[in-house]
C-alpha cells in the first residue's frame, strides 16, 4: 500500500516539477494536456489499486471462510461455469480475481473512457463504422470551431479586459465580463459536446466499451448539487465510489464526506490551471469551494421560488463564473510573467 500510494502521488507531482524546471519548453496547450493526462492517470490508478484491494480482501475471505454464502451468479456464470453443460462461446466467461492482474487488462482500463475500474466491463460485439465516422468528424469540426472562437472572439475580449481589471474600474470591468461571457459559454458548450459526446463515444466504439453514460441532463438541474452530479458522470461515479462512500464508512458524516470530495475537486481544478500557467494562485480552488455555500443558496431558492429559479441560478453561475475566473488568471499571468510590460501599458492608458 505504501508503494502504491507513493506511486500515485508521484504521478501528480511529476508534471509540477518538470514544468517548473523546464517550463520554457512547454507551450500553454502542451502543459495543459500533460497535466490533464496525469490527472486522469492518478484517478485511474487510484481506482485500480482500491478495486483490486477490495477483490483481494474478498478473495482471502473466501479462502479462509469457504462456508460463506456465495453471492448471486450471472447468466454468463450459470451457463459457462456452474453447470455441466457445454460452454456457450457467444457468452464471454467472466474474469475472476486474480486472473485480471495482467498488463493487457491494465492497459485496456487506462485507455477506456471510464475512471472506475471493473474486472469485467460491458462490451459491444462490433464497431459501428458509420457511428464512429460521425463522431470523428464531429471531433475534427468541433476542434476547429473552438479554435476559431478562441482566436476571433475570446482572445481579443480577454486582452481588452486587462487594463480595466488592473485599474479596478468596476463599470468597465463588468462590461468586459459580460462581453466575454457569451463566447466563453459557447466554447464551453462546444467543448462539452466535443469531449463527452463525440470523443468519448469514439473511444468507446473503438474499444468495444458499452457503458456510454458520460453525462445526464445537467441543463435541467434545479440546484448546484444536481448539476455537479449530472454534467460529468465518469468523475461523479469515481467520487462517489472511491471517495464519498469510503469516507462515510470510516465514520464521517455525509456533509464531511461531501466537503472532502469538493476539496479534492478544488485541488485538481487549481492544478489544471495554475501549473500550466506557472501562476500559483487559488482562484479556481476558492471557486470550487464556493460551490458549497452556493449549493445551499440554490436549494433555498428552489424551495422558496420554485425549480425554474433554481435552474436560473445554475446557469448564471456557469455563464458568469467562468469568464470572471479567466479574467483573474489572465491578469495574474501577465503580472507574474510580464510585469514591466503591464506597468508601461497602464501608464500609457493613463
Catalytic residues: 269
Cα separation, 212 vs 248, in Å, equals 28
Cis, bond preceding 98 (omega within 30 deg of 0): yes
> Phi and psi of 113, rounded to 5°?
-80, 60
Residue 252 grid coordinates: 464521517
CB proximity list for 143: less than 8 A, separation 6 or greater? 194
Cα separation, 182 vs 90, in Å, equals 51
* Residue 88: other Cβ atoms inside 10 A: 12
Residue 251 grid coordinates: 465514520
SS3 content of the chain, % helix, strand, coil (to 5): 75, 0, 25
CB proximity list for 279: less than 8 A, separation 6 or greater? 329, 332, 333, 336, 337
Amino acid at each position: 500500500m505504501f508503494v502504491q500510494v507513493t506511486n500515485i502521488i508521484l504521478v501528480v507531482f511529476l508534471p509540477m516539477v518538470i514544468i517548473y524546471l523546464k517550463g520554457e519548453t512547454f507551450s500553454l496547450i502542451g502543459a495543459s494536456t500533460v497535466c490533464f493526462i496525469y490527472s486522469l492517470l492518478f484517478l485511474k490508478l487510484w481506482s485500480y489499486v482500491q478495486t483490486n484491494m477490495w477483490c483481494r480482501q474478498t478473495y482471502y475471505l473466501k479462502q479462509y471462510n469457504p462456508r460463506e454464502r456465495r453471492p448471486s451468479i450471472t447468466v454468463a456464470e450459470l451457463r459457462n461455469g456452474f453447470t455441466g453443460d457445454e460452454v456457450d462461446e457467444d457468452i464471454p466467461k467472466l474474469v475472476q480475481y486474480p486472473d485480471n492482474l495482467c498488463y493487457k487488462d491494465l492497459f485496456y482500463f487506462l485507455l477506456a473512457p471510464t475512471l472506475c475500474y471493473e474486472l469485467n466491463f460491458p462490451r459491444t460485439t462490433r464497431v459501428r463504422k458509420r457511428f464512429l465516422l460521425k463522431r470523428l468528424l464531429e471531433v475534427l469540426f468541433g476542434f476547429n470551431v473552438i479554435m476559431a472562437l478562441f482566436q476571433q472572439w475570446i482572445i481579443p475580449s480577454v486582452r481588452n479586459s486587462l487594463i480595466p481589471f488592473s485599474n479596478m474600474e468596476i463599470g468597465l470591468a463588468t462590461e468586459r465580463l459580460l462581453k466575454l461571457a457569451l463566447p466563453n459559454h459557447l466554447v464551453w458548450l462546444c467543448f462539452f459536446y466535443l469531449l463527452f459526446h463525440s470523443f468519448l463515444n469514439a473511444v468507446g466504439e473503438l474499444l468495444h466499451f458499452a457503458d456510454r453514460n458520460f453525462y445526464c441532463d445537467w441543463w435541467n438541474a434545479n440546484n448546484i448539487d444536481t448539476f455537479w452530479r449530472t454534467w460529468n458522470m465518469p468523475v461523479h461515479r469515481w467520487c462517489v465510489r472511491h471517495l464519498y462512500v469510503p469516507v462515510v464508512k470510516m465514520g464521517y458524516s455525509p456533509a464531511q464526506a461531501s466537503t472532502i470530495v469538493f476539496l479534492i475537486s478544488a485541488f485538481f481544478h487549481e492544478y489544471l490551471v495554475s501549473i500550466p500557467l506557472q501562476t500559483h494562485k487559488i482562484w479556481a480552488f476558492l471557486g470550487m469551494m464556493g460551490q458549497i455555500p452556493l449549493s445551499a443558496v440554490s436549494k433555498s431558492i428552489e424551495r422558496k421560488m420554485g425549480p425554474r429559479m433554481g435552474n436560473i441560478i445554475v446557469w448564471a453561475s456557469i455563464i458568469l463564473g467562468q469568464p470572471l475566473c479567466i479574467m483573474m488568471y489572465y491578469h495574474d499571468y501577465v503580472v507574474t510573467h510580464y510585469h514591466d510590460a503591464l506597468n508601461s501599458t497602464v501608464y500609457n492608458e493613463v
